[in-house]
A = this chain, B = another copy of it.
């Protein structure tokens, strides 16, 4: 790991790395070996100076007049994000959203390996989804002892989300992605992120309203966070 940059990477940069990675994989699929910061910036919806600054945290500076080596940059970002290792994931709550997530191909493609599905509904226990059967949430400890999930995804109703989070933590999960519309408490050693599927609609609403007669959208070249126009 001596190659790894010792610099702390700002949160905002961390949040853009998956966007760069997605853009690079598209470039790579098109068979292109190098990419300029300008092209990457355009694809990721930020400005080129920000791309260069962000990538400098990874110790990646590109070559003047040539750009970045796509494959090497993919490797660097994957390594920095921890995607060169396999993360075992457990999904709690197998309603429509949980099922959609269990079938979501992008997870596997990014190194996330779903090792368990749990629900409290006896009507769902035993259902086959992909390669797995849904197990009762009371079996979470047993499941954790077998397959050691590091990451838990909560796709339950809000009313039970805290209880599920507590069970995931007790089972040894140290990162939680919460899709339930609930504010959760977890111990300090557990990372918690929340997804609100309505956020993007609200951003679209802004631009929709602008279209309808409030001038042009602002553009500081800095579209933050996981979702960009493409």
Contacts and interface: CB of A to CB of B under 8 A. Distances in A.
A107 B201 contact: yes
Given A202-B83, A224-B225, A13 B208 contact: no
Nearest to A189: B211
A9 B196 CA distance: 22
A8 interface: yes
Contact of A12 (B4, B81, B216, B224): B224
Nearest to A82: B209
A198 B10 contact: no
A80 interface: yes
Interface of A is mostly: mixed
A118 to B, nearest CB: 17
A135 interface: no
A227 B174 contact: no
Nearest to A101: B197
The interface centre, meaning the residue of A153, A189, A196 with most chain B CB atoms within 10 A of its CB, is A196
A23 to B, nearest CB: 10
A127 interface: no
A202 B11 contact: no
Contact of A230 (B14, B183, B219): B183
A111 interface: yes
Interface in A140-154: 150-151, 153
Interface of A: 1, 4, 8-19, 21-22, 26, 45, 80-83, 85, 87, 89, 95-97, 99-101, 103-107, 109-112, 150-151, 153, 174-175, 177, 181, 183-184, 189, 191-209, 211, 214-230
Given A107-B197, A225-B225, 6 more contacts: A10-B222, A14-B207, A17-B202, A83-B202, A193-B204, A193-B228
